[in-house]
Structure 1
Amino acid sequence: MFSIARTLARPSVLARSFAAPAGASAIHTLPELPYPYNALEPHISEQIMTLHHTKHHQTYVNGLNAAEESYAKSSDVKEQIKLQSALKFNGGGHINHSLFWKNLAPTSQGGGQLPEGSQLKKAIERDFGSVEEFKKKFNAATAAIQGSGWGWLGLNPTTKKLEIVTTANQDPLISHVPIIGVDIWEHAFYLQYKNVKPDYLNAIWNVINFKEAEKRLVEAA
């Protein structure tokens, strides 16, 4: 069966996230959250997390499975080409959100804490001057996205430097290794922060899982 993971993801955290067990069907499923829906409050509400995970992410999973099934059954090249946009959109939505949930952690479990002397903190200070300067630049670039998209801290595989990158809609980050990703679609914040994207972006740093980000950086180095 055609696999969006094989198409979009190079050997990295993306590919590892979507590797099916030996002998298993390549049907994508909604991953469980590693924390309760209310665990990120007050920074991200239980209502947002519940809808975001069970409705929006589930829709991408359903759409990806349907598109892959149609692609596999079709022998018409034109029809397969038409399906590329659905595969990209829904596959990207599944990839991005699966990374996003792991990007977050309750404050009681270390969310928002970037340890002194960590490899990630050193890399951020090397490439942006300071953690606060990094957050300022990240928030500005992400808030400037027109419409919907994602803000990323990515590792440039060529230069081995951290860079801020944005992607539109549900396009996954394939030019860099994703270290931190933040969803800037309205469904990620509107019920709580209305149209004030800067407030959402400032708040989310309180629940960013820097431990997971550090792990991704170390694995990519």
Structure 2
Amino acid sequence: MTHTLPTLPYDYNALEPHYDEQTVRLHHDAHHKSYVDGLNNAESKLEEARKNGDFALIKHWERELAFHGSGHILHTLFWENMGPNAGGDASGEIGDQITKDFGSYEAFKKQFSAAAVAVEGSGWTILCWNCMFNKLEILQAEKHQNLTQWGVKPLLILDLWEHAYYLKYQNKRAAFVDAWWNIVNWNTVNDRFKKATK
């Protein structure tokens, strides 16, 4: 199956003023698309290797599969967990679980924001459900194909590669993180949480 770039669930300018149209357009149409293209290429090369029985470049193509596949998945989730007229505190089941696992919504928000600002290089911060521990975790992914916990379900994803915010926020990552909370779509996070905990 060929992977395709998903359509944004809102207009390019729908997240203004917190997330500017120019960045959203470039981030989605160019950066995300490059992961989709890279994933399709890696899968094609691996299929070719299986047919030919030639696995001389297996290490390279497996790395490409992990890198581009992870980039495609995380970007897709990232776009979905934002929206216009969103933001505010977490509510519903995810709000209750956040309070249980982090003590309060404010404590969670401070930890998530601190993790986002501090993630090294190009990376992500992810609120996820750990099925083994039956609790929420906040993880940093400095390289998105690495630094995960096996079996976790991503619920809320923040892209902190510079291409995600540099046009508007330049090197002010903390300002981007602060603004991003205004467009978090907690309805989507709640839906993911319900599916993850079934």
Fold conserved between structures, TM > 0.5: yes
* Distance in 2, Cα, partners of 1:95 & 1:115: 23
Q: CA deviation at 1:174?
A: 5.5
Instruction: Kindly indicate whether residue 190 of structure 2 is the aligned counterpart of residue 214 of structure 1.
Output: yes
> What CA deviation, in whole Å up to 9, does each residue of 1:14-48 have, x standing for no partner?
xxxxxxxxxxxx10000000100000000000001
Aligned to 2:100: 126
Q: CA deviation at 1:56?
A: 0.3
Structure 2: stretches of 5+ with no match in the other structure = none
Structure 1: stretches of 5+ with no match in the other structure = 1-25
* Distance in 2, Cα, partners of 1:174 & 1:126: 21
How high is the TM-score relative to the length of structure 1? Answer: 0.83
Aligned-pair Cα RMSD in Å: 1.4
The percent of aligned pairs where both chains have the same amino acid is: 42
Aligned to 2:71: 93
SS at match of 1:105: coil
State whether residues 154 and 165 of structure 1, in contact with CA within 8 Å, keep that contact through their aligned partners in structure 2.
yes
How high is the TM-score relative to the length of structure 2? Answer: 0.92
State whether residues 90 and 105 of structure 2, in contact with CA within 8 Å, keep that contact through their aligned partners in structure 1.
no
**How many residues get paired?**
192
Q: CA deviation at 1:81?
A: 2.3
User: Which of 87, 103, 109 is equivalent to 2:81?
Assistant: 103
SS at match of 2:47: helix
- How does 1:75-94 map onto structure 2 within 5 Å? 75-94=53-72
- How does 1:28-177 map onto structure 2 within 5 Å? 28-74=3-49, 75-107=53-85, 111-114=86-89, 116=91, 118-171=92-145, 173=148, 175=150, 176-177=152-153
* Distance in 1, Cα, partners of 2:90 & 2:68: 35
| More off after superposition, 172-181 vs 76-85 | 172-181
